[in-house]
Structure 1
């Protein structure tokens, strides 16, 4: 099952796709979202907090929550029939060179944001919370793309990562991932961040590729 943040993003994407949500459109109230997503109000607010920080929505006291132009374009989604093999193939093609570019262009603020994502992954690993691990993992990879300061690359990566919210990806991860896999991924994520901090594009690219090859082997049984 999608976590609350992913479910809310999916709901917004559905509204954008069917034309009911354009730039400036008002989102359902928190109470309506609680009922529609069958989620606690606190979880809804935290999800909206994240989307507001990303500039996808704007909240106005007494008026409600509204979709921004950035939010409308950012929720473009991968085709629903995208397979796990296609996701891995796209990630291997795109993410290693994106990580190299991030090593060249990341600001200190970018690096701090990326480090917070790794810390979140570490906490989720201790708690053995698979939904939270997936959430922090996506945030980490999106933060790396953001650190390129290329709006086009970031948008492409966002579309690619929406495929990870498809049920086929989630069910495969739940069937195949073990705590040993997650610990390996955490070590690899730490290595990627270290390479970014060192401003080493070649190492950043190779460590990201190594990480994605590990994911491919564990999910698909082959690189």
Structure 2
């Protein structure tokens, strides 16, 4: 049986991998963690003290508890010195094939979840909101492939996307126009998935990721 500390670390690890948590992200309140983990408040507080001592979180009186950059490096996965160019190389190798597989074997429940993520991204008019839904969308597509080993590989890739160097570059190159363009490309991917079109899903994913790569790395 997991201790409260282990459960809390697992919660942070899951958030880092699915893109909902990154360096500087604010954690839920102690009360929310009590409900989420079904644990006594005292146990939650002691677990937070351990995580703070380990450098995983930092607490500011009156402001809340925040994830540190060191927390990302402690998640099993990508090396801390992984570059954005390396991330995009692996994404272009992996994700188009993942999308093709998802088009073949994804369930209606998978497609519904993917659609929710697409809608969330379309409704987000700020950088943080769009990036969070973007990460969730790509992970939902990977989950729709129903391959545990592939999912482990994808989560390693997602830990790289949580590294500070990636977030800094994404923020610097993000504009409302580009986010709208990415949403349109996401929509084309999802349409191909709904049509059960593996070739189309693969091609649309590759086109989208190549566009992201060009914008991030300055290639035209």
Cα distance in 2 between the residues matched to 1:158 and 1:165: 11
> Which secondary structure state, in structure 1, belongs to the residue aligned with residue 4 of structure 2?
coil
Match among 60, 73, 77 for residue 38 of structure 2 = 60
CA shift at 1:138, angstroms?
A: 0.6
Trace 1:42-191 onto structure 2 (pairs within 5 A).
45=32, 59-62=37-40, 75-124=75-124, 128-191=125-188
Match among 186, 193, 213 for residue 216 of structure 1 = 213
Cα distance in 1 between the residues matched to 2:30 and 2:114: 23
CA shift at 1:77, angstroms?
A: 2.2
Structure 1 residues 177 and 43: alpha-carbon distance in aligned structure 2, compared to 1, 3 A threshold: farther
Query: What's 1:4 paired with?
Result: none
Query: What's 1:3 paired with?
Result: none
> Which secondary structure state, in structure 2, belongs to the residue aligned with residue 27 of structure 1?
helix
Q: In structure 1, list runs of 5 or more residues that go unmatched.
A: 1-22, 53-57, 67-74
Of structures 1 and 2, the one with the larger relative CO (CA 8 A, separation 6+) is 2
Match among 39, 57, 66 for residue 26 of structure 2 = 39
Cα distance in 1 between the residues matched to 2:130 and 2:109: 22
Structure 1 residues 182 and 26: alpha-carbon distance in aligned structure 2, compared to 1, 3 A threshold: same
Give runs of ≥4 in structure 1 deviating > 6 Å: 63-66
Provide the alpha-carbon RMSD of the alignment.
3.0
CA shift at 1:29, angstroms?
A: 10
> Which secondary structure state, in structure 2, belongs to the residue aligned with residue 82 of structure 1?
coil
